[in-house]
Amino acid sequence: MTRSIEDYLKALRQELEGCDPALIQDALYDAEEFLQSGLEAIEVTGGEDTLSLVIERYGTTEEVASAYRQIDDDPSPVRYKPQKTATPPVETSAPTERLKRVSFFGIITEPRAYASLFYMLLSLATGTLYFCWAVTGLSLSISLLILIIGIPVLLLFLATTRAISLVEGWLIEAMLGVRMPRKPRSFRDEGSWLDRVKMWFSDYRTWTTLLYMLIMMPLGVIYFTVAVVLLSLSLSLVAAPIVQLFIGDPMIWIGPWGAFWIELWMWPFFVAIGAILFLCTLHLARWIGRGHGLIAKTLLVGSL
């Protein structure tokens, strides 16, 4: 018998076991919204009867779970193609797409690869920011814990990490195409604020989020370096023969051996090698993006 909204959500979570954690989170959120709104609207004298009425309208946990499962089974829902209107559909929230096979040259038209590359470049900035925020907040609040003022500082700091994890989730979903929750983790209405604070501390995701913020620094540096080195190398190989024409000086300088002219017969090789390297960079970016998305998902969403 379902005695509270909590019970219903717990049952629904069990029913959805094995599904995408982000999907479970969405499902729980929807259920909570409905049941909460329903309870408010009914305004009867409370009690079990009222809740079971609302649940009857919402459906049993089995019915609801199977409706969500159907969506989850559909890996890439059909994007709706307008017939003649010019407005392209707004890219709102991509499902976690299975990494489909892309041919070696086909990558050039793969938007996800460019988005991942952009994410790699951006991650130096975000990674540094997260790291600084985590280290400053953590050391500040822990050292202030000796005084009573440390407690509110720590709580404030944890609240910001939750917000940051949500924003990073949006970023990752938009750029890497890995499905992330679009809403914050549900805060339960039950219990005093003390209970809720306790939940923050006992929730392991609070700590894995902090871990994510810390490792984003080295990861960001690596991603950025890889992206910059590969991009500049491949693009300069393509451009070198042409640029050489304009500046009239040799483009290649190798230490003590001096300068080398790119002879005319070498041109196609330079351009071809540069182009192939660029394609490889895009492939690599796509794989890194996918891998990073999974790391982020594990640490920020966890398995419910």
Partner 1 sequence: MTDKETMDRGKDDSIDPYMSKFIREMNAGTVSLVLLAVLEQADRPLYGYEIARMLETLSTELAQVKQGTLYPVLRSMERSGLLESHVEPSVSGPPRKYYSVTETGRDGMERWKTVWGEIRDFVDAVLEGVNLDQVD
Q: Where are the alpha helices (DSSP H) in 97-249?
A: 111-144, 150-176, 193-202, 204-247
Q: How far is the CB of 79 from partner 1 (least distance, A)?
A: 6
Nearer to partner 1, 188 or 198 (CB): 188
Position 49, amino acid: D
Strand partners, 258: 254
Contact pattern from residue 158 through residue 187 relative to partner 1, giving x for each residue in contact according to CB under 8 A and a dash for the rest: ------------------------xxx-xx
241 sits near partner 1 (criterion: CB under 8 A): no
Instruction: Write the DSSP string, 141-155.
Output: HHHHTTSTTHHHHHH
- Within a 10 A sphere around the Cβ of 136, how many other Cβ atoms? 11
Q: Which residue among 94, 213, 262, 285 contacts partner 1 (CB under 8 A)?
A: 94
Backbone torsions φ then ψ of 253, nearest 5 degrees: -120, 120
Q: Which residue among 45, 73, 79, 255 contacts partner 1 (CB under 8 A)?
A: 79
Q: Which residue among 18, 43, 73, 87 contacts partner 1 (CB under 8 A)?
A: 87
Q: How far is CA 263 from each of CA 90, 237, 241, 245, 269, rounded to the nearest angstrom?
A: 49, 14, 8, 11, 11
Q: Which residue among 6, 17, 63, 249 contacts partner 1 (CB under 8 A)?
A: 63
Position 9, amino acid: L
Provide the binding-site residues for partner 1, judged by CB under 8 A: 1-2, 26-27, 29-34, 36-38, 40-41, 52, 55-61, 63-64, 67-68, 70-71, 74, 77-80, 82-83, 85, 87-95, 182-184, 186-187, 189
